[in-house]
Amino acid sequence: MSDPESPDARRLASYIPVSAGPWLSEADQVYDAEGIFEYIDGAGEVYRSYNMGLLVARRFHKDGKPDIVVDAFDMGSSEDAFGVFTHDLDGESASIGQGSVYKSGLLSFWKDRYFLSVYAEEETPETKALVLDLGRRIAAAIPGTGVEPALLKVLPSGGLDRRGVRFFHVHSVLNYHYFVAEENILLLDRTTDAVLAGYEGEGGGAMRLLAVAYADGPAASRALASFCRAYMPDAGDGRTVRTENGKWTSARSGAEILAVVFDAPTEQRAQGLLESVLSLAGARATGPAR
């Protein structure tokens, strides 16, 4: 447990209403990154991988009705709030905050540097309405508006599945969305930014594009060498290989960016997508200072 009277905890708690219709709130539970496993067991490491700073959990209770719970995370940055939101995109958009999904009693959304989970322990028409109302009220109370990760700007727009873009830092999260290798062959850690996106392939197939931003060009080059050594040892200098499923994987680096295309229908399609990524990355690197 963390100090509920700390300035950050009090600020975060102030965004959450004290009642939800006839449901009344109980005492808040507050956790930092070290204590999150007291509250969330298996999923705690996911939030830690996004550099979470604080969690305020508030339960709403009414006798004879399912409880409703708000988990409000201060992720420290809007980029990581966006990132942890993209970890689970299952559901329908609820048009709340800066991005949201709702499914079976669970609403997730992000706004500014905050990620919110609002859920009912049993979904009924009444609890669904209350969950969505709570979400809207919390989003309205958060005064700031966050920015999405700058790395998203290297994603070519043609054929992009915008709904399925994932932003993360570490290789365990990459493997959750698209398994690459047991070992951390891309040299990912909490200081790297990574984005995984789906693209339309030929014949209805889907390609995956992975782009990673490292601290500098040498770090990106080391990651490229590590990936090629482990994932495509027979590719040679071309850094492109046809895999067992008959599709193509290709990797390149430029500046501080490493880009990999998986499951491309042709070698030309893989290399064309990589060229587009590195071109956009170059424009991003030489663009106006932010």
* Domain boundaries defined on the chain: 7-141, 150-286
246-270: pLDDT as tens digits: 899 999 999 899 999 999 999 999 9
9-42: pLDDT as tens digits: 999 999 999 999 999 999 999 999 999 999 987 7
pLDDT greater than 90 at residue 109: yes
Domains 7-141 and 150-286 share a fold: yes
Hunting for tokens 């709340």 — which residue is that?
Answer: 96
- Taking the model in full, what pTM does it have? 0.93
DSSP-derived 3-state class of residue 27: coil
For position 200, what pLDDT does the model report?
A: 85
Hunting for tokens 């590719």 — which residue is that?
Answer: 235
**Sequence-ordered list of residues with C-beta below 8 angstroms from that of 40, at least 6 positions apart, any chain:** 47
Distances (CA, A) of 114 to 29, 94, 125, 241: 17, 17, 27, 41
Based on its alpha-carbon atoms, the radius of gyration of the chain, rounded to whole angstroms, reads: 21
For position 205, what pLDDT does the model report?
A: 65
For position 121, what pLDDT does the model report?
A: 96
For position 203, what pLDDT does the model report?
A: 57
Mean pLDDT value across residues 70-98: 97
CA nearest to 128, candidates 91, 89, 102: 102
| ∠ CA 82-221-281, rounded to 5° | 45
Mean pLDDT value across residues 236-251: 88
150-286 maps to which CATH number?
3.40.1000
7-141 maps to which CATH number?
3.40.1000.70
User: Strand order in 257-264's β-sheet?
Assistant: 166-168, 193-200, 206-213, 257-264, 248-254, 240-242
